[in-house]
Amino acid sequence: MKKLILIIQVVLIISFNPTSSFSQQIIANHTIVDRYDDIPRYYIDKVKEMWVTLPGESHSSGYRIGCQLLSVSDTAYKVNIRESGTPDGYTNQHLRLSRATWGDISSSTGWRYGYGEEDWYTSTLAKTRTKDHITYCNTHNLTIAAMGFGWCWDMTWTNSPGGTIDPVYQVRWAGSSDGGPQGNLRWGIDAGDSVLTGNSVCMDKYLNATIEYINHCVNNAYSTKVFFTTGPVDGGGNTSENGYQRHLKHEYIRNFVLASSSRILFDYADILCWSNAGVQNTTTWTDYGSTLRTFQYIHSDNMLDLNGTYTEDGDHIGQRGAVRLAKALWWMLARIAGWDGISTVGPSLNNDGFFNISPNPFSDKINIQTNLNDNESYITITNINGQEMINQKLPEGYTSIDLGKLKSGVYFVKWTNNKNITVKRIIKN
């Protein structure tokens, strides 16, 4: 009998493998760039079902430029980039990648394609609008698979190092805080640094906002995975105090992610400080305590295009660096899809029967069709958190189940009998 290609989601994978990606940290840094082509075809195909948005300003285009270049060089990693208009609906033919958001700090509605610190974390309104964006997409057939903030030069931009020297880090803080309560000022790491900067905005504001978005998805049973990111390591004048205080902010993000087993980090900075040959670029600066500090700075190779020269194409880095970002992004998304990062083949379960669900997405009812009946065929429906919503025996052939009372969101339908285990993902409008 012809085998049905299974649509197996993380709920099932977790039941077979308690150390799956959602019970582990996922850290996409320089160590995994060369492992992108280890991704099993099964998980490459799962990534092609995703819509991923990285709202940000100019540097965020590096993700998209890199994925487009990778797609051209290797058609297995197909991607569709949208830079304006309404994001594309579900497909399993290519990854959908953009920086689109529904609304921003200036407007509560409409598709927007520019996002800065003022939209992600510097105010209560920014957080409200970002949560509204997540809700809108997940309730309008535009389920977001993964989302992270695309940093620009926010950690170093506009305001050069100044103010009182931080007694712990022996450095002065810098950066921009558009939309913050005190305006656009330099900013530090935690609330205590407001004494030094005159600014309540700090790195903790970004971290706490991102946690709020993660909790918003969990509380509303959205499948969206919100991940943390580090930012740019390029820019003139950033090899001294400015670059070192930025490095401290990146380290603070990394340590925060490492403090929890469930957090996900895309380490943009670390990826670009290493060359394809495995060489890290660093520089030094002597702090105000007279200690020589060594820290990362972008590797010159990552400022070159594929022909070995540099052409500014909107993301302030070279095509080589952008492709490194793309490879790491595919690796991270495959991990989010359930890959353990080690195996070279996808999951395989016995499936000698036929099992179909329609419509999908649905509004009230789903229709289930099978071709087997051995009086031991059951259907179980769970939400994204694994909570069981329905568990019942299936009659032979065809049945209709009323799910009108379920909230909008993503659910998993598992069909089992003595020979088969099949799981399908469904979406309620």
pLDDT per residue as tens digits for the range 31-56: 999 999 999 998 999 999 999 999 99
| 300 or 359, which is more confident | 300
Worst-scoring range by mean pLDDT, 110-114, 158-162, 379-383?
379-383
The type of residue at 282 is: T
Alpha helices in 273-401 (DSSP H): 319-336
**How sure is the predictor about 249, in pLDDT bands with cuts at 50, 70 and 90?**
very high
Q: What is the pLDDT of residue 398?
A: 62
Predicted local confidence at residue 420, as pLDDT: 62
pLDDT bracket for residue 1 (50, 70, 90): very low
Q: List the structure tokens of 16.
A: 């077979």
Residue 354's pLDDT is 62
Is 82 in a helix, a strand, or coil? strand
| Residue type at 46 in one-letter notation | K
| Tens-digit pLDDT profile for residues 89-119 | 999 999 999 999 999 999 999 999 999 999 9
Residues with Cβ < 8 Å from 78, sequence gap 6 or more? 48, 71, 93, 94, 95
Query: Any idea what DSSP says for residue 406?
Result: S
Mean pLDDT of 325-349: 86
Which domains does the chain carry?
21-158+201-287+295-336 (3.40.50.1110), 355-428 (2.60.40.3080)
Per-residue confidence (pLDDT) for residue 12, from 0 to 100: 34
pLDDT of residue 384: 72
Q: Worst-scoring range by mean pLDDT, 115-124, 190-199, 320-329, 401-410?
A: 401-410
Closest-CA residue to 6 (of 348, 360, 345): 348
Orientation angle between helical segments 61-73 and 319-336, nearest 10 degrees: 90
Mean pLDDT of all residues in the chain? 89
Please, which pLDDT band fits residue 21 given cuts at 50, 70 and 90?
A: very low
Q: Of the ranges 167-176, 359-368, 387-396, which is most confident?
A: 167-176
Stronger pLDDT, 19 or 73, i.e. the higher one? 73
pLDDT score at 72: 97
pLDDT of 400 > 90? The answer is no
Is the Cβ–Cβ distance between 363 and 38 less than 8 Å? Answer: no
pLDDT at site 17: 33
